[in-house]
Structure 1
C-alpha cells in the first residue's frame, strides 16, 4: 500500500483547515429567507392573540383617524368656500344729504375708472320698497316719517389682490359723498383665516396623536421583548447578532402599525359615508352642487402607509432602547 507523501499529510492536517468563504449570493438568499420567516412568524404571533391585537389596532386607528377626519372636514369646508366665492363687490353708502342726481353722476364717474368693472345705483326709495316686500313689515314702514335708508352704489372692481381691493375701498370711502364703504368679500377672507387656523390646529393635534401612537407601539414592543427575553438570550449565546434578534420585533411593530392604518382608513370612510346622505340632502335643499368628499383610494393607501411607518418607527425606538439591556451572563 503506497504511503502518503509528507505534503499530503500536512495539507490534510486538522489544524490547517481553512474556513469556507460565503459568497454574496448565499448571504443574500439567507438574509431574504430570514426576513420572510421573521415576517410570517411575527404575523402568526400577532394573530395568536386576537383580542389584544384588535385592541391595539383600534387604539392606533382612532389616533390616526381623528386628525385625518378633521382634515377631511376642513378640505370640504374649503371646497364649499371656493364654490361660494364670487367677484368682490364694494357697497358705498352715501351721505343722507346726497340727492339721487348727484348719486347717479357719481356712479357714472366711477364706472369710467380703469380699475372698476361696473357700478349700479340703488335709489333709497327703491331699497325701502324692496325691504318692505321681502320682510313683510309694511305697517312699520308706513309709520316712518322719512326714509332712513341712504342711496347706495354697488361697485364691482376688476379682479385684484386683497391689498389692492383694500386700497380701493379706502380711496372710495374718502370721497366727499360717501359715508361708508364695505367690502363684501371680508367674510370670505375671515373664512380663509379660520381655515388656516384650523389647519394649524389639526397639524398640532396630529403631531400629538402620532407621538401617542409611537409611544403605544413602543410599549407593545417592549412587552414583546420582555416575553421573549429567554429566547433572545439563547440566540445571543449561540452567536446571533442584534440585527438577527431585531428583525422579528420590527416586523411585529410593522404589523401593528399596518393594521392600525387600515382601521383608520375604514373609520374615516365610515364617517364620511354616514355624513354624506344628510349633507348632500342639505346641499340639494339650497340648490348647491356641493358634494361631501372623503378620502380617495390614494389617500387611504397613504394613511395605511403612515400607520406602517409609525409602527416600524415605534418598534425601532423600543428595540434600540431595550434590546441592549438583554445580554447573556
Structure 2
C-alpha cells in the first residue's frame, strides 16, 4: 500500500512543473543608466550621420551656409565698426572741457596764482595754461594765415585756462562750476565744450540701436532660411520617416536628425561669417593705418577676436537649431502612416 501511494505521488511532484516555469519567457527591465547610455549613443550616432549628410553635398550645403554667413556678417560688421570707432574716439579728448578766457590785462603772476588755486579744487581734474603767444602759434599752424598775422600790431588772442572737470557725468555740477568761474574777476568768458560730446554719445547710441535692429531682422532671415532647408530635407526623407513611425518611432526620435542638421548649417554659417569679417579687416587695415599715420596717429583697425568667433558660431548654431525645430515640429505632424 505504501509502495502504491509512493508511485501515485511521484507524478504529482513539483519538479517537472518548476522546470516548465523556468523555461518560459522572462521580461527584462531596463535601468535608468542603460536608457541614459542608449540616449547618449543615439545622439552621438545622429550627430555623426547629420555631419556626414552635410558634407556629402558640399555645394548645396556651402550655398546655404554662405547665405547664413552673409546675413550674420552684416550686423556683426556694423558692431565691429562701432567698436573701432569708439576705440578711435577714446584716443581723442573725449571729455567735456571748460575754456576760461582771461582778461588781456591780467598779470602773469596773478594768472599763475589763479591756476594753482584751480588745481587744488577737488571738482577739477586737470588745468592747462595756454599763453597768448602759444595760442597765436597754434592758430597760425591750424589756419595757415601766418603771413596775415605778421602785420598785426599786437596779439589779439588772450590767455586761456583749459579745465577738465572730474565728475563729467553730472551736468548740474559742471554748470555750477561754470557759473563760479564766470563770477571770477580774471574771467572774461567761460565756454563749456559739452555739445559735441553729447552729439557723439547720441550718434554712438543710434548706431548701436541700428545694429541691434539689423541683427534681429537678419536673425529672423537666418531662421527662415534654415526652416526652408530643413523642410526640403523632411520631404526628401518622407518614406524613411513613415517607416520609422510604423515601427513605433516617436516625433522626438524622428526630429533629432533634422535638429542636428540645422545645428550644422548654423555653426558652419557662423564660421563663414567670422571669416568674412576677418577678410574685411585684413583688406581695410592697410589703408586705415596709412590714413591714421598721415594724421600722426598710430591707430590700427581691430579685428574680430575670440569673442566674435564664439559669439558668431554659438549664436548661429542656436538660430539653426531653432529653425530646424520649428520646421520639424510643423512638418513631421503631417507625416503619419495611414
Give the 5 Å matches for 1:103-182.
105=110, 108-109=113-114, 111-113=116-118, 114=121, 115-116=123-124, 117-118=126-127, 120=129, 122-123=131-132, 131=139, 135-137=143-145, 149=156, 151-163=158-170, 164-173=173-182, 180-182=189-191
Do 2:230 and 2:258's aligned partners in 1 also have CA atoms closer than 8 Å?
Answer: yes
- Going from structure 1 to structure 2, the CA distance change for 1:180 and 1:103 (only over 3 Å counts) comes to farther
1:36 is the counterpart of 2:41: no
**Stretches of structure 1 lacking an aligned partner (at least 5 in a row):** none
SS in 2 for 1:156: strand
The residue aligned with 2:322 is: 313
Distance in 2 between residues matched to 1:42 and 1:171, nearest whole Å: 72
- The TM-score with structure 1 as length reference comes to 0.83
Match of 1:92, SS state, is strand
Structure of larger gyration radius = 2
Structure 2 gaps of 5+ residues are: 1-9
Q: Work out the number of aligned pairs and report it.
A: 320
Q: Distance in 1 between matches of 2:79 and 2:231?
A: 32
Deviations 1:73-119 (A, max 9, x none): 1111111111113665322346xxx5513898577446524245546
Partner of 2:7: none
1:207 aligned residue (211, 216, 219): 216
2:92 aligns with one of 62, 84, 92: 84
**TM-score computed with the length of structure 2 as normaliser:** 0.81
Choose 214-223 or 282-291, whichever is displaced more: 282-291
Q: Output the CA distance in 2 between the equivalents of 1:5 and 1:119.
A: 111
CA distance in 2, matches of 1:310, 1:133: 55
> More deviation in 289-298 or 53-62?
289-298
Map 1:21-32 to 2 at 5 A.
21-32=29-40
1:328 aligns with 2:333: no
User: Residue in 2 aligned with 1:227?
Assistant: 236
Q: Which stretch has the larger CA shift, 83-92 or 171-180?
A: 171-180
Match of 1:64 in 2: 72
